[in-house]
Amino acid sequence: VTTARQRRWPPVVIALSLQAVAAVATVATARVLGARDITLGTLGAAILMGVIAGALSVVARLDWWWVLIQVVFAPALLIALVLAIPRWVLLTLIVLLVLVYWSTFRTQVPLYLSSSAVRAALVPLLPSAPAVFLDVGSGIGGVLTYLADRKPEHTYHGIESAPLPWFVSWMRVTLRRRKNCHARFGSLWNCDLRDYDVVFAYLSPVPMAALWEKVVTEMRPGSVFISNSFAVDAVPPTHTVTVDDAHRSTLYVWQR
């Protein structure tokens, strides 16, 4: 099965193309209804366009968060126009979104956070002897700071490629003067996993095969790789932990 992820076009191009198709379909529907004296109205048209774009995105097998964006795009644009939201507010919102989702179009890994139950479930998975922990794609540093507070004998590193989440994590680490915690800005692919005893990832299905290659090549014997929610195809974990949170998250644990 070919999915949107495997196609040559980036999802943003597919999403915009589907919005264009949805706009044409909406205009055509409005005309057909207009010929029968049924007025769709601007709000009706925006909602219809959102529904069509969402449905097309499901058919195109875009990720769920793309489908959500596709559905709300036209109604949100209309609301912004009707409310005459000042340009600087819209511009600020766009800049914030770009800073948060900076690399998402390329990496296919959006920002969402491990639940507090997942963070708690990580504590017993840490070694008893002082160890070096890495969160690849550390977001706003929630996992790092949580573990650093509870298991201060270890050293914690995070690497994050989106500017705003990285800045928030850096502030959290710096303001609280956490000496055993470090938040670095950059790509996980430039990070040598040899330096870490425990590597934690909460990414998406897209990079898992490549990340596993990196784990196998770089991680030392005796080290541990943990993935929140995303397994590695055809590589059974050493064991799994089912977490009692809203998603019934699974932690996949590989002992190297």
Ligand X SMILES: C[S@@+](CC[C@H](N)C(=O)[O-])C[C@H]1O[C@@H](n2cnc3c(N)ncnc32)[C@H](O)[C@@H]1O
- Tell which one of 187, 195, 231, 241 touches ligand X (CB under 6 A): 187
The answer to whether residues 202 and 114 touch, using CB atoms and an 8 Å cutoff, is: yes
**Shortest CB 234 distance to ligand X, Å:** 23
d(CA 36, CA 86): 38
Which residue, 81, 19, 83, is CA-closest to 51?
Answer: 19
Distances (CA, A) of 223 to 109, 125, 174, 209, 254: 25, 11, 28, 19, 9
> What is the sign of the dihedral through the CA atoms of 23, 24, 30 and 34?
positive
Query: Judged by CB under 6 A, does residue 216 bind ligand X?
Result: no
Which CB atom, from 146 or from 254, has the smaller least distance to ligand X? 146
Kindly state whether residue 107 participates in binding ligand X, applying the rule CB under 6 A: yes
Residues 65-104 that bind ligand X (CB under 6 A): 103
Could you tell me the smallest distance in angstroms from the CB atom of residue 114 to ligand X? 3
Determine which helix (DSSP H) or strand (DSSP E) holds 124, and give its type and residue range.
none
Among 114, 180, 223, 250, binds ligand X (CB under 6 A): 114
Q: Decide: is 161 part of the binding site for ligand X (CB under 6 A).
A: yes
Return phi, psi of residue 241, to 5°: -125, 125
- Would you state the structure tokens that stand for residue 59, as one six-digit string? 């058919």
Q: Which of 11, 66, 70, 135 binds ligand X (CB under 6 A)?
A: 135
Tokens standing for 14?
A: 């597919």
Q: Which is nearer to ligand X, 9 or 189 (CB)?
A: 189
Give the whole-angstrom CA distance, residue 235 versus residue 146.
Answer: 29
Which residue stretch of 63-71, 90-98, 160-168, 231-239 sits at the interface with ligand X (rule: CB under 6 A)? 160-168
Smaller CB separation from ligand X, 54 or 137: 137
Q: Is residue 147 part of the contact set for ligand X (CB under 6 A)?
A: no
Integer CA distances (angstroms), 55 to 68, 74, 247, in order:
10, 14, 24
Asked if 210 interacts with ligand X (CB under 6 A), we say no
**Interface with ligand X includes 63 (CB under 6 A)?**
no
d(CA 105, CA 110): 8
The residue range among 23-31, 38-46, 123-131, 132-140 that interacts with ligand X, by the rule CB under 6 A, is: 132-140
Residues near ligand X (CB under 6 A) are 103, 107, 109, 111-114, 135, 137-139, 142-143, 159-162, 165, 187-189, 202-203
